[in-house]
């Protein structure tokens, strides 16, 4: 019996020892886990602190760098703007001079074309188109005052237009005499009966004096046909501003016993300017002219 009790006691003790060891082991595990958790939490806190400090330092550094770069960029922009402005002003001055030279050159060339060209009707349209193109180009490239450019354009255009019109407008007339009879030496031959007239507004002076006064500059063709019945030589000559501009134009003479009639035609090409005076004058001692069948035609060619 006693042995059985001892045996049971020993078994009981063994069980208690085992239970105790297990409990002891569990406590160590718990303590180890707590230690591990505590170390891990501290590590995380340090890591977060380091990251926060790093982010803050990066933000501060970026901010300082940003404002520094902005200040430098602002100064660089201002310097660049000053350089560009100076360059633009210099180029504008050069453009003004260049356009002035081109304007003068164009005006001179157009003036020369007006003076030299034989086909001024086409030149008229060409000139106006060219002026329009040049004006648009000047306004675009130069930036000059538009009002000033329009004023200069209008003056130039009006002047050129007047010259073109003066050179291309029709001017001319044909007139007859009104009587017949002897003409003394130096008499101006008369053609007061104007039949057709173009582009000439003041023929009253011509009708009374038989002297044509030029109103429009240009190149003129003057043609005279005379019917004569003299028994002596029949000659006449063209005059400009009291100076002869042709040799004598000769018409055949009648026989000594009968009066025969002959006609003769003479012409002259002459350049006239405003207020020049031209006329036809008897260049013989005495001739007999049938004015009614004699004509004078004056034509402005260009």
Q: Give the tens place of pLDDT for each residue, 25-71.
A: 455 555 566 555 567 777 777 778 888 787 777 777 777 777 776 77
pLDDT in tens, 146-166: 667 677 767 776 776 665 555
Please give the pLDDT value at position 57.
Answer: 76
Whether residue 74 is found in the same domain as residue 198:
no
- Of 278, 234, 231, 283, the closest CA to residue 257 belongs to 231
- The fraction of the chain above a pLDDT of 90, given in percent, is 19
pTM of the full predicted structure?
Answer: 0.47
Q: Does residue 168 surpass a pLDDT of 70?
A: no
Task: Give me the phi and psi of 258, to 5 degrees please.
Answer: -125, 155
Residues 93 and 154 in one domain: yes
What CA–CA distance (Å, rounded) separates 156 from 106? 11
Nearest alpha-carbon partner for 186 in 261, 232, 236 = 236
pLDDT in tens, 175-198: 999 888 888 888 999 999 999 888
Q: Are 172 and 300 in contact (CB under 8 A)?
A: yes
Average pLDDT, the chain: 76
Specify the number of domains making up the chain.
2
- Please name the residues in contact with 189: beta carbons below 8 A apart, sequence gap of 6 or more: 177, 183, 210, 224, 226, 236, 279, 280, 281, 282, 289, 291, 294, 296
The confidence score (pLDDT) of residue 23 equals 47
Has residue 294 got a pLDDT over 90? yes
∠ CA 194-282-290, rounded to 5°: 55
| Per-residue model confidence (pLDDT) at position 134 | 75
What b-and-e string marks burial along 212-227, b requiring 16 or more CB atoms within 10 Å of the CB? bbbbbebebebebbbb
Q: With 80 as the cut, is the pLDDT of residue 136 above it?
A: no
Domain co-membership, 144 together with 271: no
> In which band, very low, low, confident or very high, does the pLDDT at 270 lie, cut at 50, 70 and 90?
very high
Say yes or no: 53 and 148 in one domain: yes
Q: Is the pLDDT of residue 12 over 70?
A: no
pLDDT at 279: 95
- Please state, in angstroms and rounded to a whole number, the distance separating the CA atoms of residues 38 and 87: 72
- Same domain for 150 and 234, yes or no, is no
Q: Report the pLDDT value the prediction gives residue 20, as an integer from 0 to 100.
A: 46
Q: How far apart are CA 153 and CA 131, in angstroms?
A: 8
Which residue bears the tokens 């023929």? 203
Same-domain check for residues 151 and 190: no
Q: Note the pLDDT of residue 6.
A: 61
Q: Which domain holds residue 90?
A: 1-168
What is the CATH number for 278? 2.60.120.40
Q: How confident is the model at residue 221 (pLDDT cuts 50, 70, 90)?
A: very high
Domain shared by 2 and 143, yes or no: yes
> Quick one: 125 and 193 in the same domain?
no
**Domain final position from 142, 168, 194:** 168
Query: ∠ CA 287-293-294 to the nearest 5 degrees?
Result: 60
Compute the CA torsion angle 129, 130, 135, 137 (nearest 10 deg).
110
**What pLDDT is recorded for position 46?**
75
The answer to whether residues 156 and 289 belong to one domain is: no
- The reply to whether 120 and 181 lie within a common domain is no
Token digits for 67? 């404002």
Tokens read off for 286: 């005495």
Q: Considering only 7-16, 54-63, 209-218, 266-275, which range has the smallest mean pLDDT? A: 7-16
The rounded distance, in Å, linking the Cα atoms of 63 and 33 is 44
**Domain end among 104, 139, 168:** 168
Write down the pLDDT at residue 241: 95
- Residues 214 and 162 both lie in one domain: no
What local confidence, expressed as pLDDT, does residue 269 receive? 95
2 and 129 assigned to the same domain:
yes
Query: Where among 134, 152, 168 does a domain terminate?
Result: 168
């Amino acid at each position: 019996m006693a042995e059985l009790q001892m045996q049971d006691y020993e078994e009981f003790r063994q069980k208690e020892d085992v239970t105790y060891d297990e409990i002891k082991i569990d406590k160590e595990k718990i303590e180890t886990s707590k230690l591990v958790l505590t170390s891990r939490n501290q590590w995380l806190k340090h890591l977060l602190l380091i990251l926060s400090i790093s982010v803050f330092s990066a933000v501060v550094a970026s901010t300082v760098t940003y404002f520094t770069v902005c200040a430098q960029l602002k100064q660089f922009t201002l310097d660049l703007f000053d350089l560009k402005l100076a360059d633009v002003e210099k180029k504008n001055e050069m453009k003004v001079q260049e356009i002035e030279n081109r304007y003068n050159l164009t005006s001179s060339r157009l003036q020369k074309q007006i003076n030299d060209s034989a086909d001024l009707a086409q030149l008229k349209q060409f000139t106006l188109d060219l002026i329009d193109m040049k004006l648009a180009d000047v306004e675009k490239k130069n930036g000059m005052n538009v009002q000033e450019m329009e004023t200069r354009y209008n003056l130039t255009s009006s002047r050129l237009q007047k010259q073109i019109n003066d050179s291309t407008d029709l001017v001319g007339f044909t007139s007859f005499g009104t009587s017949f009879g002897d003409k003394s030496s130096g008499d101006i031959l008369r053609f007061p009966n104007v039949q057709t007239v173009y582009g000439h507004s003041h023929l009253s002076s011509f009708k009374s004096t038989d002297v044509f006064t030029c109103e429009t500059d240009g190149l003129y063709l003057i043609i005279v046909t005379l019917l004569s019945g003299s028994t002596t030589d029949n000659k006449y000559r063209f005059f400009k501003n009291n100076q002869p501009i042709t040799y004598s134009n000769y018409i055949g003479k009648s026989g000594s016993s009968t009066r025969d009639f002959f006609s003769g035609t003479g012409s002259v090409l002459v350049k006239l300017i405003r207020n020049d005076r031209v006329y036809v004058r008897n260049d013989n001692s005495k001739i007999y002219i049938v004015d009614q069948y004699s004509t004078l035609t004056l034509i402005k060619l260009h």
